[in-house]
Amino acid sequence: MNGLKFVYLLAGVLLLAACKPVAPAEPATAVTPAPAAPPVAAATEAAKPEIPTLVVDAFDGKKFDLAEHRGKWVVVNFWATWCAPCLKEIPDLDAFDKARDDVLVIGLAYEEIERADMEAFLKDHKFSYPMAILDVYNPPADFETPRGLPMTYLIAPDGKVAKKFLGPITSEELAKAIKQHDSGQPVATPAAGAAD
């Protein structure tokens, strides 16, 4: 009987040792983690210029230079074909781009994807604003490496970053940020998923 008590005692101690408090579940967010950045990127994330530069070869073969669009609001949207929240944003961003003469959207596909695969994707997901495929190992130096997708920058007509959003955004949020900026108010962060 002594041996059986020892076995039960040992089993109880092992069960208790294996138990640990369960951490509360973190609320689900609509931010999709971006591909891991190379180790070098972390060291260069520190200070980004007030007026970023962005020169990329768009998917249509034309060159996109952010500096050429001074005087307009530019929405720089980091996204990927596998990112569900990104795909949900595309029609709204496209409509916003078409509806406002003072706004231009540029989509930056932050993923490793072959041209043929992107062409196939674009047959099913049509939008009119320019898009470029980025090298995830050499992203634009003047923008932070995305920690999650979608990630969107709102660039003011003077070329300065007016707002950075991490997570999905809507045209209403962009219009509100533009209106706040134009009225001289600080551009407030939307409650869900946005970052300064």
Helix (H, G, I), strand (E, B) or coil at 114: coil
Residue 28's pLDDT is what? 43
CATH number for the domain harbouring residue 105: 3.40.30.10
Residue 6's pLDDT is what? 59
Domain that holds residue 162: 58-183
- Could you tell me if residue 5 is inside a domain? no
Residue 194's pLDDT is what? 43
Q: Give the span between the Cα atoms of 73 and 68, in whole angstroms.
A: 12
- Could you tell me if residue 106 is inside a domain? yes
pTM summary value: 0.75
Q: What is the DSSP string of 35-65?
A: PPPPHHHHHT-S---SS---EEE-TTS-EEE
Residue 196's pLDDT is what? 44
Place of tokens 């979608």: 150
Strands 73-79 and 103-110 turn out to be parallel
Helix (H, G, I), strand (E, B) or coil at 131: strand
Q: What is the DSSP string of 141-190?
A: TTSPPPSEESEEEEE-TTSSEEEEEES---HHHHHHHHHHHHTT---PPP
- Could you tell me if residue 33 is inside a domain? no
Residue closest to 100 by CA, chosen among 184, 189, 174, 188? 174
DSSP state of 84: H
Paired tokens of 2: 């002594």
pLDDT, one tens digit per residue, over 115-124 is 999 999 999 9
Residue 113's pLDDT is what? 97
What averages of pLDDT result for each successive group of 10 residues across the chain (196 residues)?
Answer: 59 46 46 58 66 97 98 98 98 98 98 97 97 96 96 98 97 97 76 44
- Could you tell me if residue 14 is inside a domain? no
Residue 186's pLDDT is what? 75
Q: Give the span between the Cα atoms of 175 and 38, in whole angstroms.
A: 34
- Integer distance in angstroms from the first to the last C-alpha of the chain? 67
Residue 160's pLDDT is what? 97
Residue 96's pLDDT is what? 98
Per-residue b or e along 26-56, where b marks 16 or more CB atoms closer than 10 Å to that residue's CB:
eeeebbbebeebeeebeeeeeeeeeebebeb
- In the chain, the number of structural domains is 1
Helix (H, G, I), strand (E, B) or coil at 116: helix
